[in-house]
């Protein structure tokens, strides 16, 4: 389901450059067309209510049309006034983010992280399972899927303040769990732990507070019910 008509003013010009998200469409991060600015809000491949009861519809609406939109608006403003940013893809910007201002860092990270995040989720009935290859890699590193989930939740709960928790494929080709503050991510050139994100969860309070209040661990545990394992498996298959 596409966004309601009342929200279309948030996604002007999206037809040419947006990324379509959802269970039925899982483009490769490595091969899909990379839009340059001005950046636009991606469309969801599911309704705001599709992730209930794990994530409520109001949280989804606010998260996408207010928080993500704000990162895009501020990023476009920075691109317009910053030498060397025009014509660059979001990946090029975050891959050289140490060369730019904190405003570029925060808003470029916010746009990339959220665009990635929306594709990692979908209705619980379509969640599926990790591919055999991904399952084997997770079990090799973490012993079992259940143990992996426990470690991922622990890292997310332990991230002080706002941030993200990630499963990445690192430079050695191994799976690794890491977390980043604010809107940082492991693709940034100055990330403490670098790698290709396969899975990520937003642990900013705006991602869960309306439903879970201060119970971040509950949010992290319930989130597995709506993970789009087909997308995560494709991320793993395409990871460099």
Report d(CA 30, CA 24) in Å as an integer: 18
The total of other beta-carbon atoms located within 10 Å of residue 165's CB is 23
H/E element holding 166?
A: strand 163-170
**CB 111 within 8 Å of CB 69:** no
Report d(CA 228, CA 188) in Å as an integer: 24
The total of other beta-carbon atoms located within 10 Å of residue 6's CB is 8
Give the pair of three-digit tokens for residue 78.
């920075």
Of the candidates 61, 22, 19, 60, the residue with the CA atom closest to the CA atom of residue 40: 19
How does DSSP assign 194-240, residue by residue?
-EEEEEEEE-SGGGTHHHHTT-HHHHHHHHGGGB-HHHHHHHHHH--
**CB 240 within 8 Å of CB 196:** yes
Q: Which residues make up each annotated binding site for Mn(2+)?
A: 63, 114, 202, 206
First to last CA, the chain: 32
Q: Which residues make up each annotated binding site?
A: 63, 114, 202, 206
């Amino acid at each position: 389901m596409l966004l309601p008509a009342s929200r279309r003013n948030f996604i002007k010009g999206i037809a040419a450059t947006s990324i379509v998200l959802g269970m039925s469409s899982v483009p490769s991060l490595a091969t899909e067309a990379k839009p340059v600015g001005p950046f636009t809000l991606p469309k969801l491949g599911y309704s705001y209510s599709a992730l209930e009861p794990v994530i409520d519809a109001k949280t989804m609406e606010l998260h996408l049309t207010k928080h993500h939109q704000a990162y895009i608006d501020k990023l476009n403003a920075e691109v317009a006034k910053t030498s060397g940013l025009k014509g660059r893809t979001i990946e090029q910007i975050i891959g050289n983010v140490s060369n730019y201002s904190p405003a570029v860092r925060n808003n470029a990270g916010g746009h990339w992280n959220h665009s990635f995040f929306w594709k990692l989720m979908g209705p619980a009935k379509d969640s599926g399972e990790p591919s055999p290859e991904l399952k084997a890699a997770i079990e090799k590193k973490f012993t079992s899927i259940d143990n992996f989930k426990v470690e991922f939740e622990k890292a997310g709960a332990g991230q002080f303040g706002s941030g993200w928790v990630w499963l990445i494929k690192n430079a050695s080709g191994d799976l690794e769990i890491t977390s980043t503050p604010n809107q940082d991510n492991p693709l940034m050139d100055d990330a403490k732990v670098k790698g290709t994100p396969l899975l990520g969860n937003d642990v900013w309070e705006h991602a869960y507070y309306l439903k879970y209040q201060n119970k971040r661990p509950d949010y992290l545990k319930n989130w597995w019910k709506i993970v789009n394992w087909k997308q995560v498996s494709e991320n793993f298959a395409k990871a460099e």
